[in-house]
């Protein structure tokens, strides 16, 4: 995607390079080492490599940084511009695109209550060519490619003196400074706890049709190229530091600070955290069919008793994802338990993620198990398969949400906090619904909480729409819930073996690359013989799936002189057909397709003697009449009795009982009470 839009000249606060006293002055040398590391066998192209020195002033909550970017053009067309993300400028004031969209989605009212010292910024003070020292600072300008919001400063462009052709490399030095925010989007501080994510000038992705560098949007995340990161972090001496990669050295500076150096290869981001309060614990993942992984847990002291639960959940994810899709390749993984009230929980970064738990937390809920499995799973869907989260967020969020639910279910079974309610099958709207009372649940089969979230926004947007264009209030439901539900539908329809083949092939083929939505659809069609492509094209739209039983009736066929339709039928349970004196009853069932989505379904006719007959329906027409002759009265009918179609937005209307006139008032009020009670529980869950 070529990025176009309004631009505004950037006037730097200081043209000269900022003084970086105390930082390790080896950025250029480390950048050269990173470039040489890209030679030989690698997991990724490694075309965007960073050597960064950063210092945290814990008293003023400011960062001072210097970085060297080594970038190689992998595309055929040359470029003279480098486009950068300045994510923290989303929280400069109330007028950024991120803040405007955050108000629309109703997720928070941060902009109305933050204090002046809680805002942030990221200011680039100097840019120069590393080889020649040529100053490029005055060539910088802000760009607004998505919405022409001139108040937004989350995208910056640097003009180079010469074109960079395919295969050529440019090395750029940048001096910058930043104010750490009180937490926005799981980034910031609380007291002496710091979680620092997307914190430095970050290069966009140069694609075949130009720079892909979107403004920061409230409902989307990130996209960048793979490379080598060599980062030296200076913090108060004695504070614990956790970061992407492995710590290769640490040393005191003699001024009350210490510098921690972390290095990682073949990652597309770098995140770090520091606090004097962390408990540092270690464990090791070992599996007969997978490589070992060293596990580091940075735990809040009050959660010490939950350490083993964090480790166990992380191992669950590494084992299930590793055997289903492919092995985790880095050999180490850091789990961060964020400080209470920090707002930093439940987020993924390369080789590091934040979990989330409670002080009083009996086993069986979504914390820390569910959130830990989910964020560890993002090491695969996001970390290894590096899709564009601005445009195809469902490729990681949805695939990972489905995988989380499956992994959690296999390891832990149903959550203790998931309650099921079964309505009598004869009540209109009868069926099964459930609700998790843990608001931090990440799936759990059969994704009943996802159904509740998805159905309220099912028609808000086409799933094929680029994610940053989704209506902000419904973006998460489409990327997470809808995708998890149609993946569950595929598993129910095709079987786990077929779906696993699709997902593992996609993972292996697109690891350490940047797949699009079409790349996934092509793999799905290639790996199956059924009309999966047609189904996926429909789910990429915005139409709802909703099948229902509208009418049921049963009466004596002999009294009516009925003759059957001769339609082929399937007898699920055996019956005796040789009793010539047995009464014969005619049963009629009307099934309807209420939504725009089309899916092949079965209709089950269940009789008073317990026998069940199933009919197949392509599900394309708006309605279909099913007629059956049998020696027992019809008790009720069900469309999609095995719940293959997990996307059905209203499973309560899938069944209907043959009800006498005397029972109709009771059935009517029971159905209304059931719907009311479900909505009450859903509302109650929001406050848990």
The domain limits of the chain are 6-272, 277-380, 394-539, 547-657
Average pLDDT over residues 96-112: 77
Work out whether strand 570-571 and strand 612-617 pair parallel, antiparallel, or are unpaired. Answer: antiparallel
What is the side-by-side order of every strand in the sheet holding 62-72?
A: 121-129, 169-179, 62-72, 48-57, 227-236, 257-267, 246-252
Predicted confidence (pLDDT) per residue in 476-527, tens digit: 889 999 999 999 999 999 999 999 999 999 999 999 999 999 999 999 999 9
> Could you tell me which residues are beta bridge partners of residue 57?
62
Give CA–CA dist 283/263, Å, rounded.
Answer: 21
| Residue 531, CA distances (Å) to 490, 547, 593, 598 in order | 11, 20, 19, 12
Report the chain's mean pLDDT, rounded to a whole number.
85
Show the CA angle centred on residue 347, arms to residues 345 and 353, nearest 5°: 95
Give CA–CA dist 14/581, Å, rounded.
Answer: 100
Residue 416: pLDDT band with limits 50, 70, 90: very low
CA torsion 674-679-681-683 (nearest 10°) is -170
Q: Which two tokens stand for residue 5?
A: 């839009």
Higher-confidence residue: 279 or 414? 279
Give CA–CA dist 202/215, Å, rounded.
Answer: 12
353, 336 contact by CB (below 8 A): yes
Domains 394-539 and 547-657 fall in the same CATH topology: no
Predicted confidence (pLDDT) per residue in 29-55, tens digit: 555 555 555 445 799 999 999 999 999
DSSP secondary structure string, 533-551? HHHHHHHTS---B-EEEEE
User: Hunting for tokens 């040489």 — which residue is that?
Assistant: 36
CATH of 277-380, one of 1.10.20.10, 1.10.390.10, 3.50.50.60, 3.40.605.10: 1.10.390.10
Residue 682: pLDDT band with limits 50, 70, 90: low
Q: Which two tokens stand for residue 90?
A: 């989303």
Least confident among 59-63, 186-190, 570-574: 570-574
CATH of 394-539, one of 2.60.40, 1.10.3470, 1.10.390, 1.10.1740: 1.10.390
Q: What is the pTM of this model?
A: 0.85
Fold classification of 6-272 is Immunoglobulin-like (2.60.40)
* 3-class DSSP state of 421: strand
Average pLDDT over residues 664-680: 58
Give CA–CA dist 172/174, Å, rounded.
Answer: 7
Fold classification of 547-657 is Immunoglobulin-like (2.60.40)
Average pLDDT over residues 440-462: 63
> Could you tell me which residues are beta bridge partners of residue 243?
272
pLDDT for res 674: 62
* Statement: residue 437 has pLDDT above 90: no
Show the CA angle centred on residue 117, arms to residues 11 and 98, nearest 5°: 65
pLDDT for res 425: 35
């Amino acid at each position: 995607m070529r990025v176009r839009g309004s631009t505004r000249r950037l006037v730097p606060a200081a043209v000269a390079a900022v003084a970086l006293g105390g930082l390790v002055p080896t950025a250029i040398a480390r950048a050269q080492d990173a470039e040489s590391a890209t030679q030989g066998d690698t997991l990724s192209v490694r075309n965007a490599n960073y050597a960064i020195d950063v210092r945290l002033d814990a008293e003023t909550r400011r960062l001072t940084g210097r970085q060297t970017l080594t970038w190689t053009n992998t595309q055929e067309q040359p470029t003279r511009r480098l486009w950068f993300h300045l994510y923290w400028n989303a929280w400069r004031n109330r007028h950024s695109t991120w803040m405007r969209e955050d108000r629309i989605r109703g997720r928070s009212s941060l902009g109305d209550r933050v204090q002046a010292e809680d805002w942030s910024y990221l200011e680039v003070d100097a840019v120069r060519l590393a080889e020649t020292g040529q100053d490029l600072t005055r060539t910088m300008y802000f760009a607004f490619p998505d919405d022409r919001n001139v108040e937004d400063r989350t995208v910056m462009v640097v003009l180079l003196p010469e074109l960079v052709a395919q295969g050529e490399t440019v090395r750029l030095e940048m001096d910058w400074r930043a104010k750490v925010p009180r937490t926005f989007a799981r980034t910031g501080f609380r007291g002496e706890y710091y979680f620092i994510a997307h914190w430095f000038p970050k290069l966009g992705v140069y694609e075949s049709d130009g720079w892909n560098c979107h403004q920061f949007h409230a409902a989307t995340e990130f996209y960048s190229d793979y490379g080598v990161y060599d980062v030296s972090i200076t913090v108060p001496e004695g504070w614990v530091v956790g970061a992407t990669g492995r710590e290769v050295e640490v040393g005191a500076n003699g001024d009350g600070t210490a510098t921690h150096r972390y290095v990682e290869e073949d990652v597309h981001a770098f995140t770090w955290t520091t606090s004097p309060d962390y408990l540092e614990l270690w464990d090791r993942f070992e599996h007969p069919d997978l490589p070992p992984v060293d596990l580091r847990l940075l735990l809040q002291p009050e959660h010490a008793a939950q350490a083993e639960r964090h480790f166990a959940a992380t191992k669950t994810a590494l084992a299930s994802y590793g055997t289903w899709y492919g092995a985790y390749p880095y050999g180490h993984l850091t789990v961060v338990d964020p400080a209470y009230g920090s707002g930093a929980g439940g987020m993924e970064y390369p080789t590091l993620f934040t979990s989330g738990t409670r002080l009083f937390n009996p086993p069986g809920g979504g914390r820390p198990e569910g959130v830990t499995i989910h964020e560890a799973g993002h090491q695969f869907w996001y970390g290894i398969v590096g899709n564009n989260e601005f445009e195809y967020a469902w490729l990681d969020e949805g695939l990972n949400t489905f995988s989380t639910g499956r992994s959690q279910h296999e390891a832990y079974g149903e959550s203790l906090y998931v309650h099921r309610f079964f309505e009598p099958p004869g009540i209109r709207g009868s069926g099964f619904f459930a609700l998790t009372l843990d608001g931090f649940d990440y799936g759990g089969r059969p994704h009943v909480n996802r159904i509740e979230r998805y159905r309220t926004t099912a028609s808000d947007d086409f799933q094929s729409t680029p994610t940053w264009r989704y209506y902000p209030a419904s973006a998460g439901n489409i990327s997470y819930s809808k995708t998890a539900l149609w993946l569950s539908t595929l598993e129910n329809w095709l079987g786990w073996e077929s779906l696993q083949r699709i997902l593992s092939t996609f993972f292996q083929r697109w690891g350490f690359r940047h797949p699009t939505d079409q790349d996934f659809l092509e793999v799905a069609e290639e790996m199956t013989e059924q009309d999966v492509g047609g189904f996926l094209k429909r789910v990429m739209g915005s139409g709802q799936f909703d099948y229902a039983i509208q009418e049921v009736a049963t009466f004596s066929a002999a009294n009516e002189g009925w003759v059957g339709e001769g339609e082929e039928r399937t007898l699920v349970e055996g019956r005796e057909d040789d009793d010539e004196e047995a009464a014969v009853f005619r049963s009629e069932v009307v099934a309807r397709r209420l939504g725009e989505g089309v899916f092949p379904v079965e209709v089950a006719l269940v009789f008073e003697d317990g026998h069940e007959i199933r009919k197949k329906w392509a599900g394309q027409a708006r309605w279909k009449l099913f007629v059956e002759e049998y020696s027992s009265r019809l008790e009720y009918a069900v469309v999609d009795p095995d719940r293959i179609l997990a996307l059905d937005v209203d499973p309560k209307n899938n069944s209907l009982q043959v009800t006498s006139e005397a029972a109709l008032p009771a059935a009517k009020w029971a159905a209304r009470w059931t719907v009311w009670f479900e909505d009450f529980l859903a509302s109650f869950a929001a406050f848990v």
